[in-house]
Amino acid sequence: MKALVCVKRVIDYNVKIRVKTDKSGVETENVKMSMNPFDEIAVEEAVRMKEKSQVSEIIVLSVGSDKSQETIRSGLAMGGDRGILIKTENDQVEPLNVAKIIKYICDKEKPDLIILGKQAIDDDCNQTGQMLATLLGIPQATFASELKKNEDNTIDVTREVDGGLETIRVGIPCVITTDLRLNEPRYASLPNIMKAKQKKIELIEIDELGIDIKRRLEILEVNEPPERKPGIKVENVESLVDKLKNEAKVL
Amino acid sequence: MKILVVIEHDNKNIKQPSFSTITAANEIDSNVEAIILGKDLDKTLDSLKKSNGLKKIYAVDSEIFENPIAENLSLTISKFIDGKSFTHILSPSSTFGKNMSPKLSALLDVQQISDITKVINNETFERPIYAGNAIAKVKSNDPTKVITVRSTCFEPVKLDSNVEIEKLSLNVDKNSSINFVKYDQSKSDRPELTSAKIIISGGRGMQNGDNFKLLEGIADKLGAAMGASRAAVDAGFVPNDWQVGQTGKIVAPDLYIAVGISGAIQHIAGIKDSKYIACINKDEEAPIFNFSDYGLVGDLFDVLPKLEENL
């Protein structure tokens, strides 16, 4: 099986974000950027499948500015074989357009398995995988917490859904989106980081694809969330219960 | 304007987020209809038709909707809406809606607006980004707006109507490359996290799974749901679906009690719409105190038994 893993460059999850003073967005200048954590889980899963000889080749794909090459490179250091970057002016291409771009690559590369994070931690959309599966007309298994490949070229995917776990059996090719507990991504070792520098990343300008990536959603403004009023510290349990009963009236 | 709400249910009961989604729809326009797809829907329809805020309900009752397979749902809905000039299609932003709605959006070639928390007007909405650390105001330029709704931000509609139901027979072939295998429901007699009035959650400070028993007695007395921080879930103290936070469940109870939870950004993002937050933590510098209405500095192993006694 050939696997395509899609990765996005986002503000590192440990960074406390700052809203720009002109409200046009979130400050990304001089901020530490990393691979979207859910996409890291996607890369890890593909690498584990390759180690089990279930996957023969792993392509790491990203859509974004030149700097997204670094993100692809970290995927290659984890065990990806080669990379593709669809170059756009910025990293803020909308999910529907990203799905169209990935479809273009799928038509060319014909992967059996497409794995990507369930959502990016910047825009929190949770859409790209579902849209891609729809455009390709192939099954989707979202929010995966366990994959089991069967003999007959189907995959049993356990999904984290509200109220429990659902298992579905999907045929190949398919799109899988990863949830947090699918695996714990490895740290790339220094030798593997060095080796990744030799791996090939193909650069394709977005204009070559003939896909219109004009935004459909206008971002009018971005604001800080309303802050909660500062609370008080209570002395003891009795006082806590008293406040909850008589002041907040929630007990 | 004409709005369609996609109803989530389990072939027995309507899921609470559906009723909040109907409220959000009515904030856009009062011309709201609903569609429900399932198997043996009679009982489910009895409760849905009581819903306020709906002009009509379309019901598709078929074997293929015994389980909510997104491919079958989205294809059927897109067939149904074809030529009907719906301007908005809303689904709850639960795992059901998150799984299905983007497919609908791709079939219509429109950019979905995920997880709205506020309706500004018929084309402008607010939605959280960066785990709720920023709020974006977005305007959609698409002819049909496909939207998912964060249910904790909209009160559920009242249930004292009698809405007209039209049964539809839409023939869609079941997608043969996706098959349902099983559903393991987490067993609990307590209220669900997303609809509970009171929630008590434990974090890494609980030290192990057994110690969550200390929260049980309190939860019993309060009729509360039980939750946990991601740290507690990752440490294996409690099952996955207890997790409250941006990557788990977003909750908004009247009272949220955080025990031994430090208050990581991603946990706060999941609880900050709670009416009151109380916390118990031995580290008085823990960030959770900045978000709590009432904070008690103390060792949870001393405090919890006393709290249970005092309730």
> What pLDDT, on a 0 to 100 scale, did the predictor assign at position A163?
82
- Which residues in B lie closer than 8 A to residue A241 (C-beta atoms)? 307, 310-311
Q: In this structure, are strands A113-117 and A82-87 parallel, antiparallel, or unpaired?
A: unpaired
The domain defined by B3-167 carries CATH number 3.40.50.620: yes
Question: For residues A140 and A171, what is the distance between their CA atoms, to the nearest angstrom?
Answer: 9
The model's confidence at residue A227, banded by pLDDT at 50, 70 and 90, is: confident
Which H or E run includes B28? helix B16-28
Residue A103 neighbours by CB under 8 Å, 6+ apart: A132, A135, A136
The model's confidence at residue A100, banded by pLDDT at 50, 70 and 90, is: very high
| Encoded amino acid at A221, one letter | E
Instruction: Kindly report, residue by residue over B261-280, the tens digit of the pLDDT.
Output: 999 988 998 999 899 999 99
Please report whether residue A250 resides in a domain: no
Please report whether residue A144 resides in a domain: yes
CB-CB under 8 Å, B137 with A221: yes
Q: In this structure, are strands B113-116 and B88-92 parallel, antiparallel, or unpaired?
A: unpaired
Instruction: Please list the residue range(s) of chain B that carry CATH number 3.40.50.620.
Output: 3-167
**Mutate which: B72, B178, B220, vs A, most A CBs within 10 A:** B178
Between positions 27 and 56 of A, the ones with CB within 8 A of B are none
Mean pLDDT of the region B235-264: 93
Domain count for chain A: 1
Instruction: Please list the residue range(s) of chain B that carry CATH number 3.40.50.1220.
Output: 198-310
**Count of alpha carbons within 13 angstroms of residue A204, beta-carbon side:** 19
CB-CB under 8 Å, B135 with A250: no
CB-CB under 8 Å, A236 with B296: yes
Q: Two tokens at A59? A: 């392509």
**Mutate which: A162, A176, A246, A247, vs B, most B CBs within 10 A:** A162
> What pLDDT, on a 0 to 100 scale, did the predictor assign at position A123?
95
Residue B109 has what DSSP assignment? T
Closest by CA position to A120, among listed B130, B233, B39: B130
CB-CB under 8 Å, B291 with A167: no
Gap from A8 CA to chain B (nearest CA, Å): 14
Count of CB atoms within 10 A of residue B128's CB?
Answer: 23
Res. A83: pLDDT tops 90: yes
Interface residue A137 vs chain B (CB under 8 A): no
CB-CB under 8 Å, A156 with B133: no
Residue A233 has what DSSP assignment? E
Please report whether residue A81 resides in a domain: yes
Instruction: Kindly report, residue by residue over B39-62, the tens digit of the pLDDT.
Output: 999 999 999 999 999 999 999 999
Domain housing A85: 2-226
CB-CB under 8 Å, A99 with B293: no
Q: Say how many residues make up chain A.
A: 251
The superfamily CATH assigns to domain B198-310 is: TPP-binding domain (3.40.50.1220)
Q: Two tokens at B29? A: 């326009």
CB-CB under 8 Å, A241 with B138: no
Please report whether residue A132 resides in a domain: yes
Please report whether residue A212 resides in a domain: yes
- Which residues in B lie closer than 8 A to residue A164 (C-beta atoms)? 183-186, 241
> What pLDDT, on a 0 to 100 scale, did the predictor assign at position B223?
95
Interface residue A17 vs chain B (CB under 8 A): yes
CB-CB under 8 Å, B310 with A167: no
Going from the C-alpha of A21 to that of each of A224, B222, B289, the distances in angstroms are: 10, 44, 27
Please report whether residue A235 resides in a domain: no
Mean pLDDT of the region B163-180: 92
The CATH number of residue A17's host domain is 3.40.50.620
